[in-house]
Amino acid sequence: MSNILVAGGAGYIGSHTCLDLFSKGHTPVVYDNLSNGHAEFVKWGPLEVGDIRDRSRLDQVLAKYRPQAIIHFAAAIEVAESVQDPAAYYDNNVGGTITLLRAAQAAGINKIVFSSTCATYGIPQSIPMDEAHAQAPINPYGRSKLIVEQILKDLDRHQGFRSFVLRYFNAAGADPEGRIGEWHSPETHAIPIALDAALGRRPHFQVLGTDYDTRDGSCVRDFVHVLDLADAHTRAVEHLLDNGTSHALNLGTGNGTTVKELVDTIRRVVGKSFEVKYGPRREGDSPALVADNGLARRTIGWSPRHDLSAIIDTAWNWHANYLPG
């Protein structure tokens, strides 16, 4: 059984990854400042409260648990917020990651799985997007993640610090047993906002942008179940523990869904209607983001197991029955 430090492990994807790690024999040690995460989500290993920019705290935790590898989720993630305050995103996502990496090196750790994003690609030049697609992010969030990817390449090239970069598309869904799920405040993601509208917690759902060059004018997104993402993170860390080489992989289903199609699917799966309004585009959004996941399948044997209906069904179960309110 390996101790794995999970920075940001009290958050949405991080907590589901802790569940997956534990189910496969590892001990996830959660390191989280709880600015966006929830202590209630730390159920499968110890919680150490701390910020990735706090070197002395990191040194304490790494010395205490001596993890064999790190999975790094600790980041600010909202595109619109990054446009409003770019410096904050670079401070946390880049500066904090550098501090985490230096602490890891000092502790003799040379393996990290990094939570990256399809936002590093920017405007798609082809759909679906594979890992050879040009990386030209159009918002500070995506640029902050790309900078970290480049740092990790240099550490691998010059110091043998191995990394597994996972660029995932739109995470959604929840643990089917309702133990954890998506819980953001404020919520900015499409599926939980639409489910709140279906539950009467919001007056309506708003489609942001109707004039994109897509089949119905709304954005196209590739929704991937959070448990599938968790499985990929465990596979990636086990690859590194087995002395595997560094990689950067896309995680998505390969199926694009427009926002209007998403609304129709939610109405069908949950059996409820809700009001939909239409608004202007949101700054920093790409018109379409769909993954080519072939390299992930070939490299770590990963493929998504949940379709969009299953994603919505598990999210509905969480939001209707378990989400703290």
Q: Which of 114, 164, 166, 122 is nearest to 142 (CA)?
A: 122
CA 303 to CA 243: how far, in whole Å? 22
ω before 128 within 30° of 0 (cis)? yes
212, 239 Cβ separation under 8 angstroms: no
CB within 8 Å of 23: residues ≥ 6 apart? none
**How far from each other are the two terminal CA atoms of the chain, in whole angstroms?**
36
- 8 Å CB contact between 19 and 11: no
Q: CA Rg, the chain, in Å?
A: 19
Q: Tell me the catalytic residues.
A: 141
Q: Which region, left, alpha or beta, applies to residue 254 given φ > 0 means left and ψ of -120 to 50 means alpha?
A: left
CB 207 within 8 A of CB 278: yes
